[in-house]
């Protein structure tokens, strides 16, 4: 936990090239922690025989979960694939469903994949210099379709909370896969 007083102004560093922060706390997600979230579980098992690749990490400040505060930080999603499915974040709904989020792409390329509890789905391309607005009530996951790390800066309501379980149980309606050498949005054959 950092020592910031969230009732006072403060400054915090984020490296423009790496997305890392010397101040923020780092959380890392390895393939072993999300192997069942990729469609091709056999390909995931095969990759894990050779090691346990780091899929993504995020750097954030441990914002107090108070209404009115803003949580923010960076996500660094590494390039790679499990079978033909690109490396992605777990994805989540916010516990307070009606809370939005902004992601600004610092570098790299990919997709923001979104869906709401009614099954409406949206995908937006992530390109450096553009910010994507993730509206209230939509689960969101980022996917790296490039060959470099995908670095994003995000901001959301401090008390929004995270619901990872719904996505872990049901999966996503849409997958981003490599098809004929290019990224494609396809239906998830395993969606429950």
Binding site for Mn ion (CB under 5 A): 101
d(CA 40, CA 150): 22
Give the residue at shortest CB distance from Mn ion: 101
Closest listed residue to residue 119, CA positions, set 159, 166, 62: 166
Rounded to a whole number of angstroms, the minimum distance from the CB of residue 103 to Mn ion is 9
In terms of CB distance, is 57 or 101 closer to Mn ion?
Answer: 101
Please name the residue that has the structure tokens 């494609």. Answer: 184
CA distance 172 to 114: 9
Asked if residue 136 lies in contact with residue 100, where contact means CB atoms within 8 angstroms, the answer is yes
Q: Of 101 and 109, which has the nearer Cβ to Mn ion?
A: 101
Three-state SS annotation for 13-76: CCCCCCCCCCCCEEEEEEHHHCHHHCCCHHHHHHHHHCCCCEEEEEEECCCCCCCCCEEEEEEE
Place of tokens 């894990």: 48
Minimum distance of Mn ion from residue 16's CB (angstroms): 22
Nearer to Mn ion (CB atom), residue 92 or residue 174: 92
We find the least distance from the C-beta atom of residue 125 to Mn ion, in angstroms, to be 19
């Amino acid at each position: 936990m950092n020592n910031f007083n969230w009732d006072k102004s403060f400054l915090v560093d984020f490296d423009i090239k790496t997305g890392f922060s010397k101040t923020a706390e780092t959380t890392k997600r390895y393939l072993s922690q999300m192997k069942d979230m990729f469609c091709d579980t056999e390909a995931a098992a095969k990759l894990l025989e050779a090691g346990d690749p780091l899929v993504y990490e995020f750097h954030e400040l441990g914002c107090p979960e108070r209404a009115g505060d803003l949580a923010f930080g960076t996500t660094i999603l590494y390039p790679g694939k499990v079978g033909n499915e690109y490396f992605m974040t777990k994805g989540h709904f916010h516990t307070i469903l009606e809370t939005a989020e902004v992601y600004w792409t610092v570098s790299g390329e990919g997709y923001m994949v979104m869906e709401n509890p009614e099954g409406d789905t949206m995908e937006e391309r992530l390109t450096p210099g553009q910010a994507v607005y993730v509206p209230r009530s939509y689960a969101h996951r980022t996917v790296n379709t490039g060959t470099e790390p995908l670095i994003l800066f995000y901001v959301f309501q401090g008390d929004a909370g995270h619901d990872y379980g719904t996505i872990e149980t049901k999966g996503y309606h849409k997958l981003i896969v490599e098809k004929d050498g290019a990224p494609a949005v396809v239906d998830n054959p395993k969606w429950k």
